[in-house]
Amino acid sequence: MKMRRHDLPQLLVINPPGLFDYGDPFAAKFTVLRAWESPLPLPRFLSAHAQSAPALLCSAATRVTAGLLDLLPSLRIIVTTSAGLNHIDVPECRRRGIAVANAGEVFSDDVADAAVGLALDVLRRVSAADRFVRRGLWAKDGDFALGSKLVGKRVGIVGLGSIGLQVAKRLEAFGCPVSYNSRTKKPSVSYTFYANVYELAANSDILIICCALTEQTRHMIGKSVLLALGKDGIIINVGRGAIIDEKELVQSLVWGEIRGSGLDVFENEPNVPEELLSLDNVVLSPHVAAFTEESFQDLTELMIANLEAFFSNKPLITPVMDKQ
């Protein structure tokens, strides 16, 4: 028998969806409470409409704090569209017995593709060459400055999780010796392990940031690491902006202490340091490494599968932790 609209499970969404569509696929299976569409302030909306909602669908734009959880006494599951969890107070969720599911490995291939693309762009100066042609400088100034090849470059990966592993696999095809730093050494891989990022940088031509943002990784890439990377080194960030001390990165780029950088993420998004905008050795991307039409389709299916599993009392597909 077809379920009536008012019998559908309640699903709370606080912030507007942005590129990810919370539309028809979710509306067909859940009563979606769209807080951002209400003229009421959020606390009043939650008090009036969402205190009985057992499920929250959110993105990294939604800060899930103890204060927010206090307003949602019936909440039992949070499904986030991101792989990262720095926007969710996970220990507090654990304490309250609230399950959390994330995007798992949905974005891993796309982010890995983007990381390699940024590295190629910085080394071969693709974006800079495009600007050179568009500004009419080819006809006016003649030859464009040489870039450098990716083949054979020593690549250090910070964070050898699902994304980092996919980056490593792609770079093997370029003949790049791969090394890494991670919380623990991975017995399943043969890449060289360095226990700290300083040693990794000192033994790399390219440093690629793939790890999550935590209190331990915030500003992990600072002045000493950048100096260890050296004047011929480049740094790629597809993790989170605050993993790098952005002021130190800007200074290193402006002063020529490193060769270049490819950045998909920034410390205070969407604000980008003005000094970076005029540098031809920097490639900038608006935090879209994970986003493709294919990944969004896969993400929609995964989010719905996690929610349906929860409401059917089945194991979550991509649990961050189990309900307690």
Single pTM value for the model: 0.90
Q: For the domain covering 5-106+293-321, report its CATH number.
A: 3.40.50.720
Which residues neighbour 30 within 8 Å (Cβ) at sequence distance 6 or greater?
A: 8, 9, 10, 11, 55, 307
The whole-number pLDDT of residue 21 equals 74
Q: From 102, 104, 95, 105, select the one nearest 323 (Cα to Cα).
A: 95
Place of tokens 């071969």: 124
Helix pair angle (108-124, 126-134), 10° resolution: 60
Strands 319-321 and 99-101: antiparallel
- For the stretch 122-159, pLDDT in tens is 999 999 999 999 999 999 999 999 999 999 999 999 99
Q: For the domain covering 108-284, report its CATH number.
A: 3.40.50.720
Q: Average pLDDT of 81-95?
A: 93
Distance CA 12, CA 75 (A): 9
Which residue ranges make up each domain of the chain? Answer: 5-106+293-321, 108-284
- The beta-strand segments (E) located in the chain are 10-13, 31-34, 55-58, 77-80, 99-101, 155-158, 178-181, 192-193, 206-209, 234-237, 260-263, 282-284, 319-321
Q: Which residues are catalytic?
A: 240, 269, 287
The whole-number pLDDT of residue 170 equals 98
The whole-number pLDDT of residue 89 equals 96
Distance CA 83, CA 96 (A): 22
How high does pLDDT run on average in the chain? Answer: 94
One fold for 5-106+293-321 and 108-284: yes
Q: Flag whether pLDDT at 2 surpasses 50.
A: no
Q: Are 201 and 180 in contact (CB under 8 A)?
A: no
Give Cα separations from 154 to 102, 172, 191, 202 (angstroms). 32, 11, 11, 10
Q: Flag whether pLDDT at 278 surpasses 90.
A: yes
Tokens found for residue 105? 């490995």
Q: Average pLDDT of 201-219?
A: 96
- Cα of first residue to Cα of last residue in the chain, in angstroms, is 33
- The beta-strand segments (E) located in 25-97 are 31-34, 55-58, 77-80
